[in-house]
Amino acid sequence: MPAAKPTRPFDDPAQQAAGLLLRLGIAIIAIGAPLGSVFSRRLIFSLVPVGVVLILLAILLDPQRRQMERLREVLAAPAALTAVFVLGWAGLSLLWTPFTEPAAERYFKSAITLLLAAAAAAVLPSHTKTSNLYLLPAGLGASALAVLAFGLLQSPMPAQDIETSTLDRAALSLSMLLWPALGALAVRNRWASAGALAVAVAVAIIAVWTPVALVALALGAITFSLATNMPKKVGTVLGLLLAAAMILAPAIPLALSPLLTSSTSSFALSIQVAEQIVTHDIWRLITGNGIDTISRSIGIQYLPAETPRTMIFEIWYEYGIVGASSIALLIFLCCRGAAHLPAPINAFLLGGLVCGTTIVLCGLVTTQLWWLTLLAVVGVQFALVAKGQYRSVRPKAKAISAGSLPS
């Protein structure tokens, strides 16, 4: 009787199942979430957790379990420890927020989404397959075409709030997801395809006319061009500027309010309201008023409608100096860490950071769950791109003289 053939490594059912789950999870993150956001404002809340859970299950099914060591290394990094502290302080603020029950529901949904996405990004395989990497531009291209079609076919509508406009939210998502998709093409030297994808996204955003997304793209592109030549300097300067803006935010309305006393513009009214809030209860600047306070206070008219809605002001109002300073440190560490990644990923990541910061500073309600979920998707996609680069360089061939050849 002939001897049985030895089982090959790729015949391992557990390894095959892990590969299938990983591909499915990445497909949901790369294609399902961006495309689903075009058709529904809530579909992303279901797709993203499913995608990251499938990625985590794939890692657990892998018989080698090599990524568990990587997870421990990531958790010990300064940026990860700072992020854990920020989440802990936000959870602690539930003790003094006046809206405990709804705030707790929002906090746990946000924390679970971010933690799952961070874990999935950390334990991804050390090298992303090319077929998985190309899912990012494919998903974004399909989403851009869908947004463009809706933008051209829909009848003109009056301006809507970002929370009620699916297409405006999809346009903002396109502007953020463009950067990891471009990085995926760049690491495979598909620069022509990257340029075509950037044009398609810009045209789609123009079709639905979302000025904030266009401005964010423009500033991100400027940052990318600067970071291409001097990434470390751009990352350091950007991190310092953003951290300083976060820490010094309460001083801005105090300095501008006396200069705008005679103005009746919406910006002047917003600055004056911010100045009154800052000086009303100085002790609240230490601990803040608690998570999910500002939006609900405006809803019940405890705070005036002119209250600033930029994330920097909301962070100070809800988390105080403890939360603001820790988030400032996290921003600086992220910018510095992005600058030290290999090229061209560092330039694309810095461009994405500026794009997201611009959206945040424009007063949109970016503390809501949809924005945090979008950031989780962008983070996982950038992790895929960073692990899609070749880490080895072939040595240059040396000239060999005829006399040195063996006889």
> Which amino acid, one-letter code, is at 395?
P
Round to whole Å and give the CA distance between 60 and 68.
9
pLDDT band at 405 (very low <50, low <70, confident <90, very high): very low
First to last CA, the chain: 50
Residue 40 lies in a domain: yes
Please state, for a pLDDT cut of 70, what percent of the chain lies above it. 87
Which pLDDT band holds residue 46 (cuts at 50, 70, 90)?
Answer: confident
344: cis peptide before it, omega within 30°? Answer: yes
379 lies in some domain: yes
What's the number of domains the chain is made of?
Answer: 1
Separation CA 275–CA 273 (nearest Å): 5
Give me the count of residues in the chain: 407
Q: How confident is the model at residue 26 (pLDDT cuts 50, 70, 90)?
A: very high
Q: Map 70-102 to HEC letters.
A: HHHHHHCCHHHHHHHHHHHHHHHHHHCCCCHHH
Helix%, strand%, coil% for the chain, nearest 5: 75, 0, 25
How does pLDDT run across 301-355, given as a tens digit for each residue?
Answer: 888 888 888 888 889 999 999 999 999 999 999 999 999 988 889 999 999 999 9
| pLDDT range class, residue 64, cuts 50, 70, 90 | low
The predicted-structure confidence for 218-256, as pLDDT tens digits, reads as follows 999 999 999 999 999 999 999 999 999 999 988 888 888
Whether 287 maps to a domain, the answer reads no
Q: How far is Cα of residue 191 from the mean position of the Cα atoms in its chain?
A: 23
Residues 246, 333: Cα–Cα separation, whole Å? 14
Q: Could you give the angle at the alpha carbon of 79 between the alpha carbons of 78 and 83, nearest 5°?
A: 115
- Per residue in 248-265, pLDDT (tens digit) is 988 888 888 888 777 778
pTM: 0.87
Residue 3 lies in a domain: no
DSSP conformational letter for 31: I
Range of the domain at 242: 13-152+162-249+308-386
Q: What is the mean pLDDT of residues 9-28?
A: 80
Largest CA distance in the chain: 99
Distance between CA atoms of residues 97 and 318, nearest Å:
8
pLDDT tens column, 69-104? 777 777 788 999 999 999 999 999 999 999 999 899
Residue 57 is assigned to a structural domain of this protein:
yes
Does 79 fall in a domain?
A: yes
Specify whether the CB–CB gap between 383 and 124 falls below 8 A: yes
Give the pLDDT band of residue 41 (cuts 50, 70, 90). confident
Helix (H, G, I), strand (E, B) or coil at 162: coil
Q: Please say whether the beta carbons of 200 and 146 come within 8 A.
A: no
CB atoms within 10 A of CB 160: 11
Q: Is 356 exposed, middle or buried (0-12, 13-18, 19+ CB in 10 A)?
A: buried
Using CB atoms within 10 A of its CB, is residue 281 exposed (0-12), middle (13-18) or buried (19+)?
Answer: exposed
Using alpha carbons, select from 290, 341, 339 the residue that is nearest to residue 316: 290
pLDDT at 110 over 80: yes
Beta-carbon neighbour count of residue 126 at 10 Å? 9
Q: Is residue 280 a part of any domain in this protein?
A: no
The verdict on residue 270 lying in a domain is no
What's the pLDDT score for residue 160?
A: 54
Q: How far apart are CA 249 and CA 279, in angstroms?
A: 13
Q: For residue 394, what pLDDT is reported?
A: 44
